[in-house]
Structure 1
Amino acid sequence: MATVSAKKNMIMVAAIDFGTTYSGYAYSFKDHYNKDPTKMYINQGWVAGGTPIISYKAPTVALFDKNKKFKSFGYEAEDAYSELAEDNEHQDWYYFSRFKMRLHNEKVHREMQIQDDKGKALPAIDVFGKVIWYLKDHLMKAMKKKNNVENKDIHWIITVPAIWTDSSKQFMREAAYKADIAGSQLTIALEPEAASLYCQYLSSETLHGELFNTESTGSKYMVIDLGGGTADITVHERQSGGKLKELYKASGGAWGGTKVDEEFRKMLIRLVGGPVFDKFCHGHRGDYLHLMRQLEMKKRTIKPETSGKIRMKVPVVLAELYTEETGESTEDAIKGSPFDGKLTWRTDKMRLDSTIFKSFFKECIDKIVHHIRDLLSKPEVNGTSMLLMVGGFSESEMMQDAITNAFKNCRVIIPDEAELCVMKGAVIFGHRPIAITSRVSRYTYGVNISPPFDPSSHPESHKVTVGRRERCQNVFNPYIHEGEKIDVGKEIVRRHITLNTHQTEMLLNIYASPKKTPQFVDEPEVELLGQVTVQLPDSDELIKVEVKMIFGETELRVEANEMSANQNNKTYTSFFDFL
């Protein structure tokens, strides 16, 4: 991993915002940043159905052919797959959408597979890697038309949710390696932090008229990053020089805009049944995509004061499939359902009460509001009165109204083009990564040790005899505690010695727990996070090693130095392996 100073010497920063539903990129040159940090280039020429769409991002969709070869991304992948489905030639192809959430919901490992829309699987690292490769390649082609910049000149930033685990962050890093982005050129940025940085540079005009005073040292505000997949929330305090301090550990959950889509699909499934809906989704892909794009538009435009009926054009084939399967009409499907009297559906015309459509937002709104209320009650967050809403889902007036009404004593600030705050902020973070001065640990990190057995504090179940001595096995020895405030670059040092001569590798197990003071590594809510690997030279003597772990950055780092007098204090290759 390159030093901060080495990356700062690169002439350009490029950020890839890898989202659950949409992804894009932005970049700026060092000299442009020095003149105006907000001056940057964002691609807005994504194409859907052969027609240019004024869009800064493309759907996070990847298409692979029957030979498992990557073919296309974004709108192009959606349209190509729809064409294949129309000719019933799509069965052997691989179509992946909204797969980023797999890194939030599951135990992440290097060999994990992800399933496409038909249940066929490919290695997750290849799918993520190809998406990063595509966005990188798209950017590089755009650059060649304007500037003579090579990959080696670019400091790449990839954004991830702050609530992600260390394993998920490392997975994204290794996916970037698959896209020929070297570790020396790569930095992982936390999404709400990036958005927070960007908003420091905005005027009140671009913050919906609200004054967001960047000069007021000590003021506190909450960053509510609402994306397609997650609600990712942090609390910051402004420091002198425009720097930021995290006051409470990043938190949130899977409460993004896709929850609204799920509720809409649940409604259709309750009407026509799962088998019919699956047949529609997989056999008539173009119609399904058209319906979901229409839903996205309705999600963005519905307002709290909207009344009457919401009109949607539902592909007639869905009604036809239902009639073929059951012999009934869509009117029959509605009768006796919870939507009777509130919804009409004839051929391709659906009209539903606005109250029904608004109810699709209820679950994620309730969870987000409850979580924010809980955070504001924390002593560490006391005095926070500004709520900064960023991310694509924050552009929904339903979400804005819900947050504003739930927290009337707070100022709710929503930047114009809130969906771009993370991407633009990631570029700024690449130019000045030291803007974040301290963070709060989400976990207690430590290693397992076996101290002498103490009957007054150790249970008999953990007693073992090693040689002639009684020891307590699997004791959790912490480095950093959950909730602990950590200055960026905080170093924790442990000293170790090899057990054997000619030992060329030292492995230390690293454990993590959301509990503040776990006692043992084998108790509930303690997870083997991975290992610290220290590569050593072949020696006929035992080697003393000082292992230094660096906390407080977006990723954990590790260094190892030899301590023996006759080894001249050599530095050895060392790394975390959480996969």
Structure 2
Amino acid sequence: MSSSQSQNNISENCTWFCSIDIGTSYSGYAFAPRGNLTEKSCEIYSGVWENDVLSHKTPTSVLLDQTKHFIAFGHEADSEYENLVQEKEHEKCFYFRDFKMELYNTVVSRDLSIKDYHGKSCKAQQIFVESIRFLREHFLKVLGVRYCYTVEDDICYTVTVPAIWSDAAKQFMKEAAIEAGICEGRLMLAYEPEAAALFCMQLTRDRRATNCEPMHFVPDQPYMVVDLGGGTADITVQKISSTDIVHNLYKASGGPWGGNQINKVFFQLLVKLFGETAFQKFCEDSMVDFFNLTQKIEIAKRKISMIGDRSVVIETPPPLLHTEEELKCLKNAIQEANLQDMVNAKLGKLIIKNKYFLEYFQVICGKTVDLVTSIIQTENLQIRSIVLVGGFSESKVVQSIFKDSFPKNNVLIPMGAELAVLKGAVIYGFDSSIIDTRICRYTYGIKLERRFNPNVDDPSKTFMKGDQLYTEDCFDKFFEIGEPVAVGTKRSIKVHLNHDDENLSCDLSGPKEIEVFASPEKSPLYTTDIACHSCGMIYVPAPVGGLPVHVKGRIEIEVTGVDNFRITYIDDEDFTFSSPGHIDFMSTHKNSAQDKAIQNSSNQGSSPHFEKVIAYNS
């Protein structure tokens, strides 16, 4: 969507609504026609995948050939890769799994590379593009076959992203979706916990039950949504008005505490019992068996209960445990690891008592519980209900840990918690105006120069401009951490530049740029503070006819959606407007030589960049 287009206008002329979720371990899509998304009834369909244990989602796997051209996605990618392994052709290809966390763990740029299963690198953008393109095309095929509908111009797409992702990561996903063939004018992003909350709201309208008690949101009563996926825990706090409008009350929070951490515990146990060499050989030589084992572990994880002496049974693939001699070796390994009270083995089966895993659940869930406790206690939000969604929330142990940790709160798990994000994102695509405000995760601002104030300013940051003493690198904020920001909120940046300066050579018709900074502090003093970092660039086109020689005006920033801003330059002299600009969160000012040149010229009163020509505060 254009940065100047409000999300609220996207769905007006759409007939179908589709959401796409690239998950850490599993991906999928959901969809519905406009007629299904009424207030009283909300029937939303999800993609169905054949030959998959988790039928409403498919593994997040991508297979490329040796020239990096797309071969397959999901279950088909896993199966095809296994065939290549059998034919000893797999090392020529690129095979990726569980790559979503790369956008959480790293600094995201368009040049970001990720490594495949065997350590070979590929551009991350291509992997996400191919994933989104496959899901989009699968959806279109289903739409054409089942509903004889093929007009994509009438389809609104919503791509889900964790709310705790960086601005750059969210922009990365949007650009990947556009490159995957989704029209920018019919695309929006949805925050995963917000989407899940919308799904839960719809359950209350449909009067469906949760698996613990009826879902009910009291108007103006704060509630918390904890989205527990495979990779992350994503937390948001909201309230619903009497008119069913959602207001966010606390900044998005969370961390890398998803259900895949328990999967790792399973695999670590298998390595301990079978030996690292044997298990690694199994993973490489028996890919289908390995993938099937992964799915069985996913299912077993959800069956683990708080009753420690009960057991879960994992069917061990033949390559790992096939003969009586191998069983004997395994039992010896169990004895040597001193696990005989927790683990037992039979031919083809590994029997593990729940108590082996409970400590790990406590550690992993404990990080999320600690954060939830901190939010409840420090923010004094009077939260009554905690809603758990996402695949990891379907674990009985996870549910018990949260209920035990928050006995004074209603801990609710809606029906279909695993698909809550996908289905809620369809609802959001239909009516994004239902979410009114979001909370800033950081303080955002730009760099300016102002007249030196001896009571506030650092003397080491002073310089002379004419006969006046100025301070450089001052942080001028336009959004503050914790601030509620609604669609339509506007902020202005005053700018002043004299192009007559003999030291300044600048194209008056070209776009201008301002470096954007972010800080976790409410009132940072300088853009060079340790906690402050460069997070993007504002690009502002010149008005028709170019900028005047003497620039005196303001740059207006208007919030138009989850990931969108309308950026406009307005001249104070003749009130001319520029065409809409944009904020690029994957572009930062890194040219140190250019920085030095700008610094030198600014000491003479000039600069080719707007971030050095903000109207000086007296």
Question: Fold conserved (TM > 0.5)?
Answer: yes
Partner of 1:192: 193
When structure 1 is superposed on structure 2, of 351-360 and 139-148 the one drifting more is 351-360
Alignment of 1:203-352 (within 5 A): 203=204, 204-208=207-211, 210-214=213-217, 216-305=218-307, 307-318=309-320, 329-337=329-337, 339-345=339-345, 348-352=348-352
Contact in 2 for aligned 1:37/1:428 (Cα 8 Å):
no
Q: Which residue of 1 aligns with 2:600?
A: none
Which piece of structure 1 moves more, 28-37 or 18-27? Answer: 28-37
In the alignment, what sits opposite 1:513? 519
Aligned to 1:78: 78
| Contact 2:19-2:159 within 8 A present in 1 as well | yes
Code of the aligned partner of 1:491 = K
Q: Which whole-Å CA distance do the structure 1 matches of 2:26 and 2:497 have between them?
A: 48
- Alignment match, 1:502: 507
Displacement after TM superposition at 1:342 (Å): 2.9
Aligned to 1:550: 558
Structure 1 residues 471 and 247, CA gap change in structure 2 (3 angstroms): same
Equivalent of 1:5 in 6, 9, 21: 9
- 1:316 positional shift: 4.2
Q: Deviations over 1:295-322 (max 9, x none)?
A: 011012222226244322223434699x
CA-to-aligned-CA distance 1:192-241 (integer Å, 9 cap, x gap)? 11111121121453323523334x32112111111111111111111121
How far 1:350 sits from its partner (Å)? 2.1
Shift of 1:36: 4.8
Letter in 2 for 1:39: E
The CA deviation at 1:276 is: 4.1
Q: Distance in 1 between matches of 2:265 and 2:212?
A: 33
Higher alpha-carbon deviation: 198-207 or 259-268: 198-207
Larger displacement relative to structure 2 (76-85 or 141-150)? 141-150
Q: Which residue does 1:491 correspond to in 2?
A: 490
Q: Which residue in 1 is equivalent to 2:422?
A: 423
Could you tell me how far apart the structure 2 residues matched to 1:6 and 1:553 are? 11
CA distance in 2, matches of 1:70, 1:278: 27
1:21-170 maps to which residues of 2 (within 5 A)? Answer: 21-34=25-38, 36=40, 38-44=42-48, 46-48=49-51, 55-145=55-145, 146-170=147-171
Once residues 492 and 195 of structure 2 are traced to their aligned partners in structure 1, the CA distance between those partners, rounded to angstroms, is 30
In structure 1, distance between residues paired with 2:577 and 2:83: 60
Residues 513, 537 of structure 2: 8 Å contact kept:
yes
Percent identity between the aligned chains?
30
Question: Contact 1:308–1:354 at 8 Å: present in 2 too?
Answer: yes
Q: Does 1:357 align with 2:357?
A: yes
When normalised by structure 1's length, the TM-score is: 0.92
Q: Is the 8 A contact 2:222 2:384 kept in 1?
A: yes
Tell me the amino acid that sits aligned with residue 13 of structure 1: F
Quick one: which amino acid aligns to residue 548 of structure 1?
A: E
Q: Output one character per residue of 1:514-573: Cα deviation in whole Å (capped at 9) or x when no partner.
A: 22222111122211001000122563733445322234842241321332555x623323
Shift of 1:70: 0.9
CA gap 1:486/1:301 in 2 versus in 1, 3 angstroms? same
When residues 164 and 368 of structure 1 are mapped into structure 2, their CA distance, relative to the original with a 3 A threshold, is same
Q: Distance in 1 between matches of 2:319 and 2:37?
A: 52
* Counterpart residue number, 2:177: 176
1:47-103 Cα shifts (integer Å, max 9, x gaps): 23xxx6571111111111112111111111111112222232211211111111111
Number of aligned residue pairs: give it.
568
Can you list the C-alpha shifts for 1:232-259, whole angstroms capped at 9, x where unaligned?
Answer: 1111111121111111111111111101
User: For 2:464 and 2:437, how far apart are their aligned partners in 1?
Assistant: 43
C-alpha distance in structure 1 between counterparts of 2:447 and 2:268, whole Å: 46
Secondary structure of 2:281's partner?
A: helix
Q: Which amino acid aligns with 1:73?
A: F
Range with greater deviation from structure 2 (67-76 or 306-315): 306-315
SS in 2 for 1:47: coil
Instruction: State the AA in 1 paired with 2:111.
Output: E
**Are residues 1:20 and 2:24 paired?**
yes
State the Cα RMSD in Å. Answer: 2.4
**In structure 1, distance between residues paired with 2:507 and 2:96:** 47
Shift of 1:435: 0.8
Q: Does the alignment pair 1:526 with 2:527?
A: no
Tell me the alpha carbon deviations over residues 171-204 of structure 1, each in whole angstroms, 9 at most, x when there is no partner.
0000011111122111110111111112112145
Greater Cα shift, 353-362 or 23-32: 353-362
Q: Distance in 1 between matches of 2:374 and 2:483?
A: 19
Q: Closer, same or farther in 2 for the Cα pair 1:544/1:36, shift >3 Å? A: farther
SS in 2 for 1:188: strand
CA distance in 2, matches of 1:275, 1:578: 43
SS of residue paired to 1:256: coil
**Which one-letter code corresponds to 1:115 in the other structure?**
K
Q: Decide whether the 8 Å contact of 2:362 with 2:401 is kept in 1.
A: no
Please give the per-residue CA displacement for 1:340-378, whole angstroms capped at 9, x wherever unaligned: 543244664322232113334232211121111111102
Kindly indicate whether the alpha-carbon contact (under 8 Å) linking 1:230 and 1:253 is maintained by their aligned counterparts in 2. yes
Work out whether residues 47 and 76 of structure 1, in 8 Å CA contact, stay in contact via their aligned partners in 2: no
Where in structure 1 do 4 or more consecutive aligned residues deviate above 6 Å?
none
Measure the CA separation in 2 of the matches of 1:576 and 1:379: 31
Answering whether residue 441 of structure 2 is matched by residue 442 of structure 1, we say yes
CA gap 1:488/1:338 in 2 versus in 1, 3 angstroms: farther
1:466–1:346 CA distance, 2 compared to 1 (3 A): farther
Q: Is 1:480 aligned with 2:479?
A: yes
User: Could you tell me how far 1:283 is from its partner in structure 2?
Assistant: 2.9
Question: What letter is aligned with 1:394?
Answer: S
Cα-to-partner distance string for 1:431-456 (whole Å, 9 max, x where unaligned): 11111111211111000112122333
Partner Cα separation in structure 1 for residue 561 and residue 92 of structure 2: 43
Distance in 2, matches of 1:398 and 1:392, equals 13
Supply the distance in 2 between the matched residues of 1:299 and 1:63 (Cα, whole angstroms): 27
Contact 1:227 / 1:256 at 8 angstroms: preserved in 2? yes
Distance 1:494 1:81, change over 3 A: same
**Change in 2 beyond 3 A, CA 1:528/1:338:** farther
Helix, strand or coil for the counterpart of 1:572? coil
The alignment partner of 2:90 has SS state of: coil
Q: 2: distance between equivalents of 1:345 and 1:468? A: 85
Give, as a single letter, the amino acid of the residue that structure 2 aligns with 1:157. Answer: T
User: Secondary structure in 2 aligned to 1:377?
Assistant: helix
Change beyond 3 A, Cα 1:223–1:565: same
Q: Which runs of 5+ in 1 are unaligned?
A: none
Paired residue secondary structure (1:268): helix
